[in-house]
Homo-oligomer: A and B are copies of this chain.
């Protein structure tokens, strides 16, 4: 892939690389908190208690993955889970006090990192990059739909 010359190939290759390096950077910078777990906690922080199912859709990983992450986060005391009384199948997930403290700290840390990653990029450029990425994402989703 690295060998190919067309810009489109290089873009695809670059997206993969950036994601890989970004994840690693994130992990080391955030005391070992993975991007996925940050995403889980961040979602809970913004939109209060959530059903596991809803959280799974927002974070966009498998059911199984969510279950296992939440199990971990629960033993770390960052989140609490509670069965719904009306419907005994669903489990509501929310941050604990500790979780709320921690995520506040991590959010700050992430913002700091984010600032450093975009120092030399003007806001219009950022917006442009975002638009282009959105176009690409849209195309990918379209392809996936026509495939199924």
Residues of A in contact with B (beta carbons under 8 Å apart): 1-4, 6-12, 14-25, 28-29, 35, 38-39, 42-43, 46-47, 58, 60, 113-121, 123, 125-130, 132-137, 139-141, 143-144, 147
Instruction: Say what secondary structure dominates the interface of chain A.
Output: helix
Question: What residue of chain B has the Cβ atom nearest to residue A38's Cβ?
Answer: B1
Distance between A99 CB and nearest chain B CB, rounded to angstroms: 16
Distance between A144 CB and nearest chain B CB, rounded to angstroms: 5
Q: Using known A-B contacts A3-B46, A9-B114, A46-B3, determine if residue A18 contacts B130 with beta carbons closer than 8 Å.
A: no
Instruction: List B contacts of A132 (CB < 8 A).
Output: 121, 125, 128-129, 132
Copies of this protein, total: 2
Instruction: List B contacts of A11 (CB < 8 A).
Output: 118, 126, 129-130, 133
CB pair B147 A29 closer than 8 Å:
yes
CB pair B7 A140 closer than 8 Å:
no
Instruction: List B contacts of A20 (CB < 8 A).
Output: 60
Question: Assuming A116-B139, A116-B143, what are 4 further A-B pairs, CB within 8 angstroms?
Answer: A1-B38, A7-B126, A117-B143, A121-B135
Interchain Cβ contacts under 8 Å between A and B, 14 examples? A6-B114, A7-B127, A8-B126, A11-B130, A11-B133, A12-B22, A15-B18, A16-B22, A21-B144, A24-B144, A25-B147, A29-B147, A113-B143, A129-B132
Question: What residue of chain B has the Cβ atom nearest to residue A39's Cβ?
Answer: B1
